[in-house]
């Protein structure tokens, strides 16, 4: 173990400081975990704050005015994020996604985007740099994001019906504001855009066809709508299986209105099952993380806003990379620690869901979605 001074970690979620291997192996870009899955995507949370209170992510009764968010000093600086991202790129990461909370609430985020856009693979190629947002301030920031080097964007939108959308975001934000943001992003070239709709049975499932019709008729292939099964992330959203609408039923709803045909995945580890409109007016996707687990080829790691590395969206334990950064560890030491962590990874929560629970019985609780992004 390194003899450097490692500062104490925050204990919002269970974590440990990674061990520095005695022999520092240089990165090869070909890491595999215990199940043979490569490291390809890194999702970076830049804030744990959000201006929405969606019930499936940050229910208002938990994340109220008395909830204590992380202080600014606990957050990774832009320089620290970039340093870690460079390490992950050396290990094979080719896609960076900025998440939150709501990432556009992080002050001067365009500066970070510019720093990440300057990173290159060992072959000299730029990375796939994208961001997920609720769209509430996207209209104001789209041009600056594009100019900074952001390539694509994903927008979360759970209904077109304004009454339903205001109820689901639980802060009375109008759907028109998000649609304006989507239009602004397309206008500056942040497309094609992915729009993610979390489907809850009995809440917004009747919005499936109206959402599909709106985006295929207004934007055609420039917007790809994806329907996500309501997931049991964290321990605060009151998840129930009877509120999950299986993706197979989503496709059935769509096929009553539109002629669809299946498509091949774009890349290994892609979470969405893709369907093309036969008339050529774009595509839709379904993400079946509850009914059809895709753990077998998951190639994503997640970095929290305070620098904890989580190997799974449903994890209950993180690895404190911030402690290494602020404890004086070299790039080679941090790289070796990250490589060792990934090689030991065996997470496959969704495949084992029936045997798992939010409370592990050890005092650890699963990480909340707002803390590490989706």
State the pLDDT confidence band at 355, using cuts at 50, 70 and 90. very low
Stronger pLDDT, 344 or 372, i.e. the higher one: 344
CATH number of the domain at 324, please.
Answer: 3.20.20.70
What is the rounded distance in angstroms from the CA atom of residue 138 to the CA atom of residue 183?
A: 9
Q: Is residue 5 part of a domain?
A: no
Helices (H), the chain: 78-90, 109-117, 138-148, 162-169, 175-188, 208-218, 247-255, 321-326, 331-343, 369-372
Stronger pLDDT, 225 or 367, i.e. the higher one: 225
Place of tokens 């450097």: 4
Q: Is residue 307 part of a domain?
A: yes
pLDDT at 9 over 50: no
What is the rounded distance in angstroms from the CA atom of residue 343 to the CA atom of residue 352?
A: 20
Q: What is the pLDDT of residue 363?
A: 46
Per-residue burial over 326-353, b if 16 or more Cβ lie within 10 Å, else e, is: bbebeeebbbbbbbbbbeebebbbbeeb
- Tally of structural domains, the chain: 1
* End-to-end Cα distance, the chain: 32
Q: Is residue 1 part of a domain?
A: no
What is the rounded distance in angstroms from the CA atom of residue 370 to the CA atom of residue 306?
A: 13
Among the ranges given (111-125, 191-205, 234-248, 314-328), the one the predictor scored with the smallest mean pLDDT:
234-248
Domain that holds residue 112: 15-372
Chain mean pLDDT for the chain: 89
| Greatest mean pLDDT among 37-41, 230-234, 359-363 | 37-41
Q: Is residue 10 part of a domain?
A: no
**Selection from 220, 209, 223 nearest residue 178 by Cα:** 223
Q: What is the pLDDT of residue 156?
A: 97
**pLDDT digits over 317-340, tens only?**
899 999 999 999 999 999 999 999
Q: Is residue 341 part of a domain?
A: yes
State the pLDDT confidence band at 15, using cuts at 50, 70 and 90. confident
Percentage of residues of the chain with pLDDT beyond 90 = 70
Stronger pLDDT, 133 or 363, i.e. the higher one: 133
What is the rounded distance in angstroms from the CA atom of residue 234 to the CA atom of residue 58?
A: 10
Among the ranges given (13-17, 211-215, 245-249), the one the predictor scored with the smallest mean pLDDT:
13-17
Within 10 angstroms of residue 255's Cβ, the number of other Cβ atoms is: 11
Three-state SS for 275-323 is: EEECCCCCEEEEECCCCCCCHHHCCEEEECCCCEEECCCCCCCEEEHHH
The token pair at 145 is: 């994001």
Q: Is residue 163 part of a domain?
A: yes
pLDDT at 181 over 70: yes
DSSP state of 220: G
| Greatest mean pLDDT among 126-135, 232-241, 269-278 | 126-135
Q: Is residue 250 part of a domain?
A: yes
Q: What is the pLDDT of residue 2?
A: 43
Sign of the four-CA dihedral 221, 193, 42, 198: negative
Q: What is the pLDDT of residue 374?
A: 62
Segment 47-75 shows an average pLDDT of 91
pLDDT at 79 over 60: yes
Among the ranges given (50-59, 195-204, 350-359), the one the predictor scored with the smallest mean pLDDT:
350-359
Q: Is residue 9 part of a domain?
A: no
What is the rounded distance in angstroms from the CA atom of residue 226 to the CA atom of residue 3?
A: 48
Stronger pLDDT, 112 or 10, i.e. the higher one: 112
**pLDDT digits over 107-148, tens only?**
999 999 999 999 999 999 999 999 999 999 999 999 999 999
pLDDT at 13 over 80: no
Burial class (CB in 10 A: 0-12, 13-18, 19+), 367: buried
């Amino acid at each position: 173990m390194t003899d450097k001074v490692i500062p104490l970690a925050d204990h919002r979620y269970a974590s440990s400081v990674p061990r520095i291997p005695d022999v520092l192996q240089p990165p090869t870009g070909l890491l595999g975990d215990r199940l043979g899955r490569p490291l390809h995507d890194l999702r970076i949370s830049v804030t744990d704050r959000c201006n929405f209170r969606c019930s499936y992510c940050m229910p208002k009764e938990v994340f109220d005015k008395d909830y204590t968010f992380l202080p600014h000093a606990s957050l990774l600086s832009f320089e620290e994020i970039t340093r870690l991202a460079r390490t992950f790129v050396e290990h094979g990461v080719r896609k960076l996604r900025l998440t939150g909370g709501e990432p556009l609430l992080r002050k001067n985020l365009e500066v970070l985007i510019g720093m990440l856009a300057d990173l290159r693979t060992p072959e000299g190629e730029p990375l796939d740099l994208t961001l997920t947002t609720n769209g509430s301030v996207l209209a104001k920031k789209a041009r600056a994001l594009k100019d900074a080097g952001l390539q694509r964007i994903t927008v979360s939108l759970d209904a077109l019906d304004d009454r339903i959308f205001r109820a689901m975001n639980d802060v009375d934000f109008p759907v028109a504001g998000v649609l304006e943001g989507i239009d602004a992003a397309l206008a500056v070239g942040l497309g094609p855009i992915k729009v993610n709709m979390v489907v809850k049975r009995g809440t917004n499932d009747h919005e499936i066809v109206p959402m599909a019709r709106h985006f295929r008729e207004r934007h055609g292939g420039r917007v790809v709508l994806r329907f996500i099964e309501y997931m049991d992330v964290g321990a605060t959203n009151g998840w129930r299986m009877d509120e999950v609408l299986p993706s197979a039923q989503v496709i059935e709803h769509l096929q009553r209105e539109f002629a669809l045909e299946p498509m091949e995945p774009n890349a290994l580890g892609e979470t969405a099952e893709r369907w093309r409109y036969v008339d050529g007016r774009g595509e839709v996707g379904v993400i079946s993380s509850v009914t059809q687990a895709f753990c077998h080829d998951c190639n994503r790691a997640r970095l929290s806003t305070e620098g904890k590395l989580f190997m799974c969206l449903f994890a209950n334990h993180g690895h404190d990379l911030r402690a290494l950064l602020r404890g004086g560890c070299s790039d080679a030491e941090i790289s070796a620690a990250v490589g060792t962590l990934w090689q030991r990874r065996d997470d496959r929560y969704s495949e084992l869901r029936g045997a798992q629970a939010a409370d592990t019985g050890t005092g650890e609780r699963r990480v909340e979605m707002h803390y590490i992004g989706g």
